[in-house]
Structure formats: structure tokens, C-alpha cells
Amino acid sequence: MPVFLQNLLIVILAAYMAWDNGSGGQITAQWPVTIGVMMGLIMGDLHTALLVGGTLQLMSLGVAAIGGSSIPEYGLATIISIYLAVRTGASTGTAIAVGLPVGIFALQLDVIVKIINNFFAHLSQRLLHEKKFKQMQLSFLCSVLVWTLKYVIPVSVVIMFGVPLVKFIINVIPQWVTDGLTIAGGILPVVGISLLMRYMPVMKYLSYLGIGFVLAAYLNVPILGVAIVGAGISYIIFRQNSQRENDRNQMTTNVEGNGDDFDE
């Protein structure tokens, strides 16, 4: 495949990854494994792509953007790492060592993108109240376009100018800018979780919330372990609710049956 066509397909893949993840389709999303397969088909080296994608997938396990929080862009790091590994012949470790900082740099861009898209969110709300649905849809598409640029710009820069320029850009950013965006990215998870808890039956399951906090904060159980415990508790609650529902239905059936006998 010609190099120009490969580069074009890589940029399109980055744009599609953002579109799929931002539009709610979630066919490939930005998981390193799925993005790695697509990159392997584009670059013609599926073996290297799967090695890089699998490694980054393991690194990203248990990391989720909950409540609007900002996390490293492992999908973007996968694209960059595979591109560098195949084009330069670098080892998997070296390619990831260069590609992962790009994904972390996109974390800073994520905060800026969310600030910009906040404008489109309020605009869409106003258009909804005014019943201007076509304009509201256009506002949504603009927000997705802004979201897409977060992936397309870093990928395009790496493809056009290579690794040295990427390192130069990361080093030239003022420390106060990076620190400010890092602090903002740290506040967003707290705000997001607080918003989620506002609409969840927290008081009803407060004891389980306390158990999860103790496991994570005092016993240092990894997030995967806490998730497994939570899944087990959820299954127990589900079985209990199902049993109560069955008992309630059985009782209703018995009452209706007794009523029929009484009428006779």
C-alpha cells in the first residue's frame, strides 16, 4: 500500500475513533485491542499491531472516564505506537515509550475540548427549548467535530513531522499550563462522581459504598478487585430482588385464587 494512502487511512481511523466514541455508536470505541487490529490491517503488520495493542490494553484495564473525568488516551497512544513501530522498526517497548506520552498529552487537550464543547451543550439546550431541532443537531455535530480534532491533530503532526517534533512540542509547553490543566483534570472526576451520586440511590446502598471505600482507601485493593466485589454484591441483590418479586407474584396468585373460590 502506498505510504500516502496509509497516512490518509491512519488519520481517517483517528477521526472515526473519535466519532464512534463521541456519537454513542461504540463499535470500536478507543480500545487499544480493536484499534490495534485496524492499524495492523492498514500498516500491513498485524503481528506488531496486536503486540502493541495488547500491551496498551493491559495498561488501560480499570481506567475509565467516569462522570466526565479525563484519562490518558490509550486509543491514540495505540495508533502512534503502532505507526512508529512499523515505520521505524523500533521495538514494542520503544514505540510505546514514545506513543504513550502523546496519549497523555491528549489528556490535556481533553480538558480544553470539554471547555469548548460546554458552549455547544448550552447552545443545544437553548435550541431545544426554541424547538429548532435541525440547528440543535448541527450544534451536536460541531461538538463531535471539535472532539475529533483532539485525535486528528496529534496523529497528523506525528505523521507529517515525526517523533522529534512531538517531543519538542511536549517540552516547549509552559509548566504552568500543564500544571493548570492537570489540576483541572483532577477536579473533574470529583465533580463527575458527585453528579452521578446525586441521582443514584446512595442512602439505600450506603453500607456497600462504605465497603468499597475501605477496600480502595485502606486495604489498597486494585480497582479490578473492587469491581469484582461490587459485581458479586450486585448479583446477590439481584437474586434477592428476583426472589421477592417471585414471592409477591405467588402471593397475588394465591389471593386471586382464594377470591374466586369465595365468589363461587
Residue with the larger pLDDT of the pair 61 and 37:
37
The one-letter amino acid code at 140 reads F
The pLDDT assigned to 64 comes to: 61
Of 200, 217, 251, the one marking the end of a domain is 200
pLDDT tens-digit readout, 170-197: 567 677 766 765 676 556 556 656 766 7
Residue 225 sits in the same domain as residue 186: no
CB 237 within 8 A of CB 207: no
Residue 84's contacts (CB-CB under 8 Å, 6 or more residues apart) are 90, 94, 95, 98, 99, 158, 163
- Shared domain check, 113 and 55: yes
Which tens digit of pLDDT belongs to each residue from 100-132?
777 777 777 777 888 888 888 888 888 888 888
Half-sphere exposure of 221 (CA within 13 A, CB side): 14
| Inter-residue contact 89 to 114 (CB < 8 Å) | no
Task: Give 147-157 pLDDT, tens digit per residue.
Answer: 888 888 888 88
Are residues 256 and 191 both part of a single domain?
no
Are 108 and 219 in a shared domain?
no
44: left (phi over 0), alpha (psi -120 to 50) or beta: left
Neighbour tally for 15: CB within 10 Å: 18
Q: Which of 180, 200, 220 is the last residue of a domain?
A: 200
Query: Are 154 and 67 members of one domain?
Result: yes
What is the band of 67 on the pLDDT scale with cuts at 50, 70, 90? low
In the chain, the number of structural domains is 2
Say what the pLDDT of residue 155 is: 86
pLDDT value of position 30: 77
Give the pLDDT of residue 89: 75
pLDDT at 120: 87
Q: What percent of the chain has pLDDT over 90?
A: 5
Can you read off the three cell numbers belonging to residue 76?
491514540
158 shares a domain with 59: yes
Mean pLDDT across 24-39? 80
Residues 70 and 125 in one domain: yes
- Residue 230, classified by CB atoms within 10 Å of its CB into exposed (0-12), middle (13-18) or buried (19+), is middle
Same domain, 131 and 221: no
Band (228; pLDDT cuts 50, 70, 90): very high
Comparing 147-151, 230-234, 240-244, the range with the smallest average pLDDT is 147-151
What's the rounded Cα separation, in Å, for the pair 146 and 224?
A: 32
Contact 74, 59 (CB under 8 A): yes
| Confidence (pLDDT) at 151 | 85
Whether residues 146 and 171 fall in one domain: yes
CA distance 132 to 138: 10
Q: Are residues 152 and 248 in the same domain?
A: no
When pLDDT is averaged across residues 238-257 and rounded to a whole number, the result is: 82
Whole-number mean pLDDT of the chain? 79
| CA atoms lying within 13 Å on the CB side of residue 80 | 33
In the listed set 173, 200, 227, which residue is the last one of a domain according to the structure? Answer: 200
What average pLDDT does the segment 201-223 reach? 87
- Position 158 pLDDT exceeds 80: yes
| Eight-class DSSP state of 198 | H
Question: Domain span at residue 53?
Answer: 3-200
The verdict on 214 and 182 lying in the same domain is: no
Length of the chain: 264
Whether 196 and 237 map to the same domain: the answer is no
Residue 232: pLDDT band (50, 70, 90) is very high
